[in-house]
Structure 1
Amino acid sequence: MNILLDNLDLFVDGFRTTLVLFIFSAVFALLLGLVVAACRVSPVTPLRALGTIYVNTVRNTPLTLILFFFAFGYPRLDLPGAGSYVVLAIIGLSLYTATYMAEAIRSGINTVPVGQAEAARAIGMPFSMTMIQVIMPQALRAVVPPMMNVFIALLKNTTVAAGFSVAEAGAIRANLSERGEPAMGSMLWVIAGFVMLVLILSGVQRWFEKKWSLTR
């Protein structure tokens, strides 16, 4: 317990940065994932091809390489956010996680009967309106479990940013070692923090599943 109390500043700062990375990356990944999923099921061939290329390319690239590019290559392009490693980590995590989010959403879209989209087109609704008003509300109910799994994976993936000068929870153990704290005890407290966050996400998942199961 002394490890936690004597180094509370490190734990607070580390997990605060982790939550910043997670929340912003989750929001951006969800928004981008919705767009990419719509492209993947679009009747327009170029959009489907673009979505497929993006998903297959980014998803098959290690996250470490993506963050390496944003840490060392992106700043050379003189683009916005190049001066902050936290912002660069959010961009990299968002682009990477969006591919998994898109596939999770696409799987939910595939659970919606084809007749729903055909009926919407029959009354003159365009593809965008059909997706927003007919398909997505039904698909998101089916996609909650895989979507929350993606969020949990994102939470754990934030630790990779510790290798690129981002002082988040993954860097706590190294900082505690510099203060002379035992490595095993430090690691156990970091693990306990992540377990608590994952349990919170699991609780949110169960709440959504229960709420939407009652409204079907």
Structure 2
Amino acid sequence: MDDLIKYAPALLEGFLRNVQLSAICAVLSLVLGTILVSMRVSPTPVLRATGAVYVNIVRNTPLTLVLAFSALGLSDTLGLSFSEEPSSNAFWLVVLGLSIYTATFVCEALRSGINTVPLGQAEAARAIGLTFFQSLRMIILPQAFRVVVAPLGSVMIAMIKNTTVAMAGGYLAESAFVMKDTFDDTGASIPIFLGLVIAFMAITLPIGFFTGWLANRLAVVR
């Protein structure tokens, strides 16, 4: 028990790092995913092809490889650096890798929502002189977001759970790594494991319930 108390601050810090990582990646992946879906449904062939290639390659690549590429390829080989401090630099590299990975799933969820918008609304937008991006921003995307609230919630929950593999990208202060280190030193694996499971459920379950409620509240009646 004394060992568990000793490692409690480190476990709490690691878990809070996961929460911070999740919050930043959620915002960035939503922004990047919206940009990607705009490219995928664009009338410009080059933008459509670029978006499709990016989404299909990244979405079908294991997350550990994406994170490893961020740490080894972008940082070590290409010299990309966000900070002089190693731990801060590793954090933002993982943010980059996890965001560009999650954004592909956000893109596909939004694309399925766009497909539910009647074609006549886009034609009506063009008829009154709106450009493609104007009709996308003011008419199509607002409806698409309402349709895919629940799927986006599932994507965010998966992203939160994916933060536990962030040590593959070199970010060693997150909860999975701290938990492993504590296992090795104390041997108290079951209490620590259950504690972190409950901590993650305390985040993911409310998100699931909230997005389910919001999806019903914002459901589009056709």
The question of a shared fold, defined as TM-score above 0.5 by the shorter chain, is answered with yes
Q: What's the secondary structure of 1:179's corresponding residue?
A: helix
- Structure 1 pair 212/3, CA: closer, same or farther in 2 (3 Å)? farther
Report the Cα offset of residue 214 of structure 1: 9.4
Query: CA offset at residue 77 of structure 1?
Result: 1.5
> In the alignment, what sits opposite 2:202?
196
Partner of residue 105, structure 1: 110
What value does the CA root-mean-square deviation take over the aligned residues? 2.1
Correspondence 1:12-161 to 2 at 5 A: 12-75=12-75, 76-81=77-82, 83=86, 84-161=89-166
What is the DSSP-based 3-state SS (H/G/I as helix, E as strand, rest coil) of the residue aligned with 1:112?
Answer: coil
CA contact (8 A) 1:3 1:181 kept: no
Gaps of 5+ in 1: none
Q: 1:37 to 1:178 in 2, by over 3 A?
A: same
Q: Is the 8 A contact 1:29 1:98 kept in 2?
A: yes
Offset at 1:213? Answer: 4.2
Paired amino acid for 2:218: W
**Offset, 1:178:** 3.6
Q: Which residues of 2 match residues 158-169 of structure 1 at below 5 A?
A: 158-163=163-168, 164-169=170-175
Contact 1:4 1:11 in 2 (8 A): no
SS at match of 2:186: coil
The 2-side partners of 1:35 and 1:61 are apart by 20
Q: Matches of 2:220 and 2:131 in 1, distance apart?
A: 30
Distance 1:80 1:96 in 2: 19
- CA distance in 2: counterparts of 1:93 and 1:142, whole angstroms: 24
Shift of 1:192: 1.2
Distance 1:51 1:34 in 2: 11
- CA drift of 1:27 comes to 0.7
Partner SS state of residue 121, structure 1: helix
Q: Which moved more, 1:70-79 or 1:94-103?
A: 70-79
How many residue pairs get aligned? The number is 216
Structure 1 residue 5 displacement after superposition:
4.8
Identity %: 41
Mapped to 2, the partners of 1:161 and 1:149 lie a distance apart of: 19
The whole-number CA distance in structure 2 between the counterparts of 1:69 and 1:177 is 28
Length-normalised TM-score, structure 1: 0.92
